[in-house]
Amino acid sequence: MMPWREKFVRQMLAGCCCLSLFLCAVQPVVAGDEAVDDRAGSDPVEVQGKQETNGSMTLEATRQGAIEKADKAEEKVTETADEHYSDAVSKDDGDMTEKADDEAAGPEAASGSHTHFNMDALIERLKNSDAIGVFTKLALRSDAMDVVDEVKNWREHKGRMSLSEIRARFDGLLLKVLALLDDDPALSADISMARDNIWNSLLEGKA
């Protein structure tokens, strides 16, 4: 049998171990709650005060640190704002100069060069496309030639068709082309987007 003193000492040691373990486990939870409370309070002076009572930092030093941080943040914000402003100003200037150049060159020159380029590229892509067969391409070409002839006649006041009728025919032809380009969706999308440009180039007699 164990003497009662030895038994008491062992029990006390076990109790101390349990208590220390409990305290270790509880400490982070308490610290976390305090941190949450600090963030919720969002008063730096109060936080610093707490820290001061803990003896980690003096109130004055933390205040100065906070002021320095605030100053740095302010400088950073001002710098980024200046950068954004200068970027925006330079972009606006660029847009304005581009617009001015376009206006100076005239509306025809501004839109014409892009339209002409697109037309050539689209025609070339349509010629090289595998989605449409040779005879179908020839049939579409002869339809397109008919529309071009109608536009020419309308311009020379010789045609029987009105411009809206020619436009309807042009739209029908374009719809046929788009339907046939089912296997070439990229070209189909590009032609669909360039619809008005193609019509304008037809009216200008460039096509």
Partner 1 sequence: MKYLMGFALLLAVIAMPAGADAVTKAEDIATTIMLRGQPCGGNTVSNISESKDGAGNTVIKATCPNGIRYRVDVSANGRVSVTPIR
Q: Which residues bind partner 1 (CB under 8 A)?
A: 130-136, 138-143, 145, 176, 180, 183
Q: Which is nearer to partner 1, 167 or 176 (CB)?
A: 176
Q: How far is the CB of 130 from partner 1 (least distance, A)?
A: 5
Q: Which is nearer to partner 1, 66 or 140 (CB)?
A: 140
d(CA 9, CA 16): 11
Q: Which is nearer to partner 1, 76 or 141 (CB)?
A: 141
Q: How far is the CB of 93 from partner 1 (least distance, A)?
A: 49
Q: How far is the CB of 184 from partner 1 (least distance, A)?
A: 9
With both helix axes pointing from N to C terminus, report the angle between 185-193 and 195-204 in degrees, rounded to the nearest 10. 60
Which two tokens mark 113?
């060069």
Q: Which is nearer to partner 1, 66 or 139 (CB)?
A: 139
Residue located via tokens 């309807």: 168
Q: How far is the CB of 108 from partner 1 (least distance, A)?
A: 31
Q: Which of 30, 49, 32 lies closest to 40, judged by CA? A: 32
Q: Which of 141, 114, 129, 118 lies closest to 187, judged by CA? A: 129
The radius of gyration of the chain's CA atoms, rounded to the nearest angstrom, is: 40
Q: Which is nearer to partner 1, 47 or 132 (CB)?
A: 132
DSSP 156: T
Q: How far is the CB of 197 from partner 1 (least distance, A)?
A: 24
Residue located via tokens 């943040």: 73
Sign of CA dihedral 180, 185, 191, 193: positive
